[in-house]
C-alpha cells in the first residue's frame, strides 16, 4: 500500500479505469476512498475492525448517510481493498438497502417530454433513444455512429455495465428521430465518431445529458425530478405493462441478474389491479 493518500487514490482510479469502470463510478468511488483514508489516517493493511465500526458510525451520525449511500460507500471500499490485493476487515459490510419502488413517468408525461425535445433534431434523438430503448446515460454517451443500424433498426451497446455488449431494438419513432438527427449532423462535417456531439464539438458526458433532460422536463411542465435513469425506469415499466416477460426485460436493459429486473414486477399496478379483481375475496 502506498504511503501517500493522494497517490493511493490515483492508483485506485487508474485500476478502475483499466477495469473499464464508468467515469461516474470512478469519480464516486475515489471520493469514498479519499473519505475513508482521511478518517482513519492509516495504511489499509493497518485498519482494524474497530476502525471500521468507527467509520460506519461517522457515516451515520456525522455525514447523515442513508442506507443506500452507506451501501455504495462500502462497495467502493471493498473494491479499494481488492485493487491493492489486501483482505478487508471482516466487518466491512454494508447494510441492506431499502427496497424502494423506482420512480417513472406516466405515458402522457413522457409524450410531453418528447414533444418538448422535438424543437431540436438532436434533443429529440437523445430523448427518444433514452425513452424507447432504456439504455443507461453512460451507454448513450459512449455511442458511436457505427453502433446504429437504421436499416435493421438496431443499436449496439458496447462495453455496457459489467463490460457486456448487447443489442437493443429501435422503434419506428426512435429510428425516425435518429434519421432526422443524422441529416442535421452530416451538414456540420464533424470529424468525430461520437453519435451525439455537444456544442463544443466533443462527446457528451453524463452530467450534460442529465442537465439537458432536466431542462426539457421543465419546459414540458413536468413537476417530477426527471433524469435519464427515470426514463430507463419508464421504459421498463411501459414494456412490462405491455406484456414483456422478465427475461426479455433483463436482456434489453442489460441486467446481470434477474433479481435486479424483478423490481418492475412491483410497479405494474395495472396488472396488480386486474389480478386483484380476479382473486379478491367476496364477503357475503
Cα 159-262-105 angle, rounded to 5 deg: 80
Phi, psi of 166 (to 5 degrees): -160, 170
Residue 248: partners with Cβ closer than 8 Å, 6 or more residues away:
239
Catalytic residue among 56, 142, 232, 233: 232
Catalytic residue among 40, 153, 161, 215: 161
**Rounded to 5 degrees, what are φ and ψ at 94?**
-100, 150
Q: Which of 136, 142, 185, 233 is catalytic?
A: 136
The catalytically annotated residue of 56, 185, 229, 233 is 229
For residue 276, indicate whether it is catalytic: no
63-100 core/surface letters (b: 16 or more CB in 10 A; e: else): eebeeeebbbbbebbebbbebeeeebbeebebeeeeee
Where do runs of H (alpha helix) occur along 41-153?
Answer: 49-57, 67-83, 107-117, 121-133, 137-142
Is-catalytic flag, 247? no
Any bridge partners for residue 144, and if so which? 194
- Known catalytic membership, residue 233: no
Q: In the numeric block, which cell numbers belong to residue 110?
A: 413522457
Phi and psi torsions of 195, nearest 5°? -65, -50
Whether 74 and 94 have beta carbons less than 8 Å apart is answered as yes
Could you confirm whether 20 is annotated as catalytic? no
Distance (Å, rounded) from C-alpha 219 to C-alpha 224?
Answer: 12
H-run or E-run covering 280: none
- Residue 99 is among the residues annotated as catalytic for this protein: no
- Any catalytic annotation for residue 266? no
Q: Which residues are catalytic?
A: 136, 161, 229, 232, 255, 264
Amino acid at each position: 500500500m502506498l504511503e501517500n493518500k493522494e497517490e493511493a487514490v490515483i492508483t485506485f482510479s487508474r485500476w478502475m479505469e483499466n477495469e473499464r469502470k464508468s467515469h461516474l463510478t470512478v469519480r464516486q468511488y475515489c471520493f469514498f476512498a479519499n473519505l475513508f483514508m482521511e478518517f482513519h489516517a492509516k495504511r489499509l493493511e493497518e485498519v482494524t475492525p474497530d476502525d471500521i465500526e468507527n467509520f460506519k458510525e461517522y457515516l451515520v451520525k456525522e455525514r447523515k448517510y442513508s442506507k443506500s449511500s452507506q451501501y455504495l460507500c462500502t462497495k467502493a471500499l471493498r473494491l479499494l481493498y481488492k485493487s491493492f490485493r489486501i483482505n478487508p476487515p471482516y466487518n466491512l459490510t454494508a447494510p441492506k438497502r431499502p427496497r424502494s419502488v423506482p420512480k417513472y413517468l406516466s405515458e402522457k408525461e413522457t409524450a410531453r417530454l418528447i414533444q418538448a425535445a422535438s424543437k431540436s433534431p438532436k434533443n429529440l434523438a437523445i430523448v427518444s433513444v433514452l425513452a424507447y430503448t432504456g439504455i443507461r446515460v453512460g451507454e448513450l454517451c459512449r455511442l458511436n455512429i457505427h453502433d446504429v443500424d437504421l436499416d435493421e433498426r438496431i443499436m449496439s451497446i458496447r462495453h455496457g455495465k459489467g463490460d457486456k455488449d448487447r443489442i437493443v431494438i429501435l422503434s419506428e419513432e426512435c429510428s425516425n428521430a435518429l434519421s432526422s438527427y443524422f441529416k442535421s449532423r452530416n451538414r456540420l462535417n464533424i470529424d468525430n465518431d461520437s453519435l451525439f456531439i455537444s456544442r463544443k464539438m466533443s462527446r457528451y458526458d453524463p452530467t450534460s445529458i442529465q442537465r439537458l433532460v432536466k431542462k426539457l422536463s421543465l419546459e414540458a411542465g413536468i413537476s417530477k425530478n426527471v433524469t435519464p435513469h427515470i426514463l430507463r425506469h419508464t421504459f421498463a415499466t411501459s414494456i412490462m405493462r405491455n406484456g414483456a416477460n422478465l427475461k426479455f426485460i433483463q436482456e434489453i436493459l442489460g441486467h446481470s441478474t434477474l433479481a435486479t429486473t424483478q423490481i418492475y414486477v412491483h410497479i405494474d399496478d395495472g396488472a396488480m389491479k386486474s389480478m386483484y379483481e380476479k382473486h379478491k375475496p367476496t364477503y357475503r
